[in-house]
Amino acid sequence: MIKISTCFDAGSVIVKTLTDPSDIRLALRSDNASDFAQWFYFRLQGATYQNCIMHFDNAADAAYPKGWEDYQACASYDRRNWFRVPTNYENGVLTINHTPLSNSVYYAYFEPYSEEQHLNLLGDAQSSGLCRIDDLGSTVQGRDINLLTIGNQVESDMKIWITARQHPGETMAEWFVEGLLGRLLDPQDATARTLLDRATFYIVPNMNPDGSALGNLRTNAAGANLNREWENPTVEKSPEVFFVRERMLETGVDLFLDIHGDEGLPFVFVAGTEGVPNYNPRIAALEAQFKNALLNASPDFQDEYGYEKDAPGQANMTLATNWVGNRFNCLAYTLEMPFKDNANLPDDDFGWNGQRSLRLGEAALSAILNVIGNLR
């Protein structure tokens, strides 16, 4: 008997019909308190060696329908090793076509990053002896909002802030942080040691723990898109942003990276603060220096494709990067990774995945080191 289940961390799908493995009808489930829908993550059992054709009938109603073009779904038998499976989008229906080789298989929009992994990441960082975990407050559902502080915290230190996963379905963002943390906390890594002699890092690996556990694509438990809350956050609706922003105001910021995933573009790219009121030639020069350094550090990064740049003074100040960059007159970038494959370096078996995100996080430290002497 074929069965589909989602009663686990971040599980999400609606089952419509499940009688015929060659015609399984599914639907995307919206975020718990908003209309955003695109994330899916479910377990299929009882279909060993059967050709399973799974149709998402409402794919055209997803938050980003262009995200389905040239997209391949992720699958895993053990939730550790994920691979891509044949997927097609036609006439508004997303179809996954796969023959499982085992009785239990998982499918997901992207390689998940569970709450257990998140807590283990915090514990491993603390165990290094170089990192302190601070509790900034609680989410809407009562989960911890944790900040990792790494460095000497002296006044002369550069203040490097990194936030990830404001949008919970963008799990590649926390994979990125895992890679960055792993290198930063390595006492044998010369780049890390040099950085920690000159900077204190403030890192929030998961800005949206509620949305992550709920299987949301874009919002927290109250239905707030956290990356539209930075101008005027509230404890009731967006405590995650409120408490992080308050700590930023205490420490100051010299460099800010906000880590995301983009549904549509098959590239790694950054978006800067050219549209904010305080943008100036110094920031423009730092942006160019950082991009060039990241280009040299990782062939996965490119600067040809990305978002259209904001006109001067026309930036949306509710976005984290724009608010932070303008408030602290600092280098601030949104870094985006693909849900699809990286078109510059495609991998038919795995596409863009957790490990590639992790390696990019490691490489980002080289770009930070390159600009650190010019941040003030």
Residues designated as active site:
336
CA 308 to CA 76: how far, in whole Å?
Answer: 36
Output helix, strand, coil percentages for the chain, rounded to the nearest 5.
Answer: 30, 25, 45
CA 340 to CA 67: how far, in whole Å?
Answer: 8
User: How many CA atoms within 13 Å lie on the side-chain side of 22?
Assistant: 0
Cβ-in-10-Å burial (0-12, 13-18, 19+) of 189 comes to middle
3-class SS letters over 8-60: CCCCECEEEECCCHHHEEEECCCCCCCCCCCCCEEEEECCCCCCEEEEECCHH
> How far out from the chain centre does Cα 59 lie?
22
Helices (H) and strands (E) in the chain, counts: 8, 17
What tokens does 259 get? 């880590």
The DSSP bridge pattern shows strands 158-164 and 255-262 to be parallel
Catalogue the E-assigned strands of the chain.
3-5, 14-17, 24-27, 41-45, 52-56, 73-76, 82-85, 87-90, 93-98, 104-108, 131-138, 144-150, 158-164, 199-204, 255-262, 269-271, 331-338
CA 176 to CA 42: how far, in whole Å?
Answer: 24
CA 337 to CA 360: how far, in whole Å?
Answer: 9
Phi and psi at residue 137, in whole multiples of 5°? 155, -165
CA 28 to CA 136: how far, in whole Å?
Answer: 33
